[in-house]
Amino acid sequence: MLRTRFPVPTQKDDPSEAQIVSHRLMLRGGLVRQASAGIYSWLPLGFRVLKKIEAIVRAEQNAAGAVEVLMPTIQAADLWKTSGRYEDYGLEMLRITDRHEREMLYGPTNEEQICEIAAEFLKSYRDLPKNLYHIQWKFRDELRPRFGVMRGREFLMKDNYSFDVDEAAARLSYHRMFLAYLRTFQALGLTSIPVRAESGPIGGDMSHEFVILADTGESGVFCDRGLLDQPVPGPVYDDPEALQEIVDRWTGPYAATDDMHEPARFEREVPDSKRVEARGIEVGHVFYFGTKYSEKLGVLVDLPDGSRVPVQMGSYGVGVSRLVGAIIEACHDERGMLWPAPVAPFQVGLANLRQNDPACAESASAMYDSLTAAGVEVLYDDREERAGTKLADLDLLGFPWQVVVGPRGVARGVVELRARATGESAEVTPEDALQRIQGA
């Protein structure tokens, strides 16, 4: 992609309204633009990251046997009156009255709506299990929206809902999603830690948040280092015993965020040398809530004995737009972003330091063509801009590879190839550059 065609409105100076690094870098890098308080437009570069995250989340949901649907953003208030949450939700719910004076709302989550849908085709225990997900925009009218996309009002979330005949089956569904989350965050280039979360009204042990470590994280995280080092398992979604073993292995060692932290237990269970005290960001939540909604919204199935019971449900959320910010919090340095390859908007940033020099332009174009022909995603900075501006932009935007074309190198038939994360740099022929990038 040519930067002259692909708008990336970078800014030199830190925007004054941004308090955290991801928000600053997303504005400075031209990934998003605030439309209103807590509401963002995704500019071309940010949009690419958002779509990559979405695709990775989707692929693992499909692998785990969840089926994708899409519920609308605007819901009828009546549904929420039935569940009793219409009043409970308070001012965070964006309430709307349509032209016929009907009470509507912008969905902050979808338990009610999915129950209404499921009630139509879940009739018998034979129709279970089912797991439906969607990736859709939600709205929560936060009192003080801040931290950019980390705590916006309009946000993109993947949420699914599992339906099972009894608690044992629900536990299996929960385990599947637990594994799916470990695998999803790994596929995004992140190390996630499941921590015990508040279990809500029905109690039990099936409620976990997934956090990733970041020095600038919102919560304190206390855990056993072993959790960070164990390899993420393969997609054994059809093997209940393997799933149980995985969940045991990931929930056995101590791990907690501030709100659930027990210092005495931490010191007792984790040897000094393995204690990790760090900061983290919540990026996912898995939660079993039994029949809380299925009872109220009438999602009932017939059992073999002729009786009729409400289905057992769980919900599972990943904040897709929030992850863009969270990844930057976890992956940046003082010069800018450091994208993990799987979610990098482009794998390569190509800068021509002397756009009006015909030899440089020719060399950069040839480099661009050969990368593109090899299927490498590259953003070619072909603007007429100062060399310093282009180099600073490369660092700011944080593509894994930088290829710099300048007059001295061109005279010798070489380009400069740099790895953004390590700073390693080498003068290589264009052919070598391509080969090293492809080999990575």
Whole-angstrom distance, CA of residue 76 vs CA of residue 150: 27
In this structure, is the dihedral angle defined by the CA atoms of residues 415, 420, 426 and 428, taken in order, positive or negative? negative
Closer of 344 and 415 to its own copies (Cβ): 344
Instruction: Sketch the per residue contact string, 142 through 171, with its own copies: x for CB under 8 A, - otherwise.
Output: -x---------xx-----------------
Q: Which of 26, 29, 52, 75 binds its own copies (CB under 8 A)?
A: 75
Whole-angstrom distance, CA of residue 348 vs CA of residue 326: 22
- For 315-354, the three-class secondary structure string (H helix, E strand, C coil) is EEEEEHHHHHHHHHHHCEECCEECCCHHHCCCCEEEEECC
Interface with its own copies, residue 104, by CB under 8 A: yes
Residue 77, SS3 per DSSP: helix
Whole-angstrom distance, CA of residue 119 vs CA of residue 115: 6
How many other C-beta atoms can be found within 10 angstroms of the C-beta atom of residue 20? Answer: 18
Whole-angstrom distance, CA of residue 284 vs CA of residue 362: 47
**Least distance from C-beta 9 to its own copies, angstroms?**
4
Interface with its own copies, residue 366, by CB under 8 A: no
User: Alpha helices of 136-200 — where are they, by DSSP H?
Assistant: 167-187
Instruction: Sketch the per residue contact string, 82 through 101, with its own copies: x for CB under 8 A, - otherwise.
Output: ---------xx-x-x-xx--
How many other C-beta atoms can be found within 10 angstroms of the C-beta atom of residue 124? Answer: 12
Closer of 236 and 419 to its own copies (Cβ): 236
Whole-angstrom distance, CA of residue 284 vs CA of residue 41: 23
**Least distance from C-beta 31 to its own copies, angstroms?**
11
Closer of 207 and 321 to its own copies (Cβ): 321
Restricted to residues 107-136, the positions that interact with its own copies (CB under 8 A) are 113, 116-117, 120-121, 126-127, 130, 132
Interface with its own copies, residue 16, by CB under 8 A: no
Q: Which of 19, 41, 216, 438 binds its own copies (CB under 8 A)?
A: 41
Residue numbers at the binding site for its own copies (CB under 8 A) = 5-7, 9, 30, 33, 35-36, 39-44, 47, 50, 65, 67-76, 91-92, 94, 96, 98-99, 102, 104, 106, 113, 116-117, 120-121, 126-127, 130, 132, 137, 139, 141, 143, 153-154, 384
